[in-house]
Amino acid sequence: MGPEICFGCFRDLPRAARSCPICARPVSTEGACGCCLLRRPVYDKARVPFVYAFPVDRMIQRLKYNGILSHARLLGELVGHALGRTDGRPEAIAPVPPHPRRLRQRGFDQVIEIARFVAALTRVPLVSGLCVRLLDTPPLWPLGAQERRRILTGAFECRVRPPERVAVFDDILTTGSTADAMASALRSAGAREVEVWAVARSPSLAALNS
């Protein structure tokens, strides 16, 4: 059974015609994007089915800021069906954790809410305690890639030994700095392969000033 969305809406969901095989950034030509050629991410590969554009962007925003939890199920089912057919699936899904203060303010973790449905459909276990967030970082949306990397250095710690193959899960993949910081923590703790799974990939190049 597929996601509860009509065929026309499903057909019109924002997908990239081409994307970088490493970071999933929308690109105009085949092959790795310029950012990955200049500085390869810490993670091995990103799998992101949608571009951060209407209506996926609105669903993420309304879930995150308005607490419309029904959007978590739809987003999770869309991602789960899209990624369920991939080969060489990881052994665990590790959602990017919020800082405890941020979690208390919001009252829920939108990343875990989406990841529950992704895990159920892909049959990859959701392991929410693999990493903890040590730093309560400021909002990252106005910052470029270099500043994000600086702020996120040492932001996560993996306190248990992870499986060899892990998928970091987030709602939006923008510069990849958060995913890199998580991947660094997982690799330091023993993970051999780290993928990134996300709902949507930001198409903006303005923020990618690496």
What CATH number is attached to the domain comprising 63?
3.40.50
Of 44, 41, 49, 52, the residue nearest 181 (C-alpha): 41
Q: Which residue has the higher pLDDT, 199 or 145?
A: 199
- Amino acid 161: pLDDT: 94
Q: How far apart are CA 50 and CA 57, in angstroms?
A: 10
Q: Is 142 strand, coil or helix?
A: coil
45-78 pLDDT, tens digit per residue, is 999 999 999 999 999 999 999 999 999 999 999 9
Asked, as a colleague might, if the bond just before 98 is cis with ω within 30 of 0, I would say no
Residue 127 covered by a domain? yes
Residue 26 covered by a domain? no
Tally of CB atoms within 10 A around 98: 18
Pairing of strands 92-95, 131-133: unpaired
Q: Which domain holds residue 78?
A: 40-83+90-201
Q: Is pLDDT at 207 greater than 50 in this prediction?
A: no
Q: Are 108 and 69 in contact (CB under 8 A)?
A: yes
- CA distances in angstroms from 192 to 97, 102, 166, listed in the order given: 21, 30, 8
Residue 21 covered by a domain? no
Residue 134 covered by a domain? yes
Tally of CB atoms within 10 A around 1: 5
Residue whose entry in the numeric block shows the structure tokens 């190049």: 205
Q: Using 50, 70 and 90 to split pLDDT, how confident is the model at 205?
A: very low
Residue 138 covered by a domain? yes
Q: Please count the structural domains in the chain.
A: 1
Tally of CB atoms within 10 A around 77: 20
- Amino acid 141: pLDDT: 60
Residue 206 covered by a domain? no
Q: Are 83 and 45 in contact (CB under 8 A)?
A: no
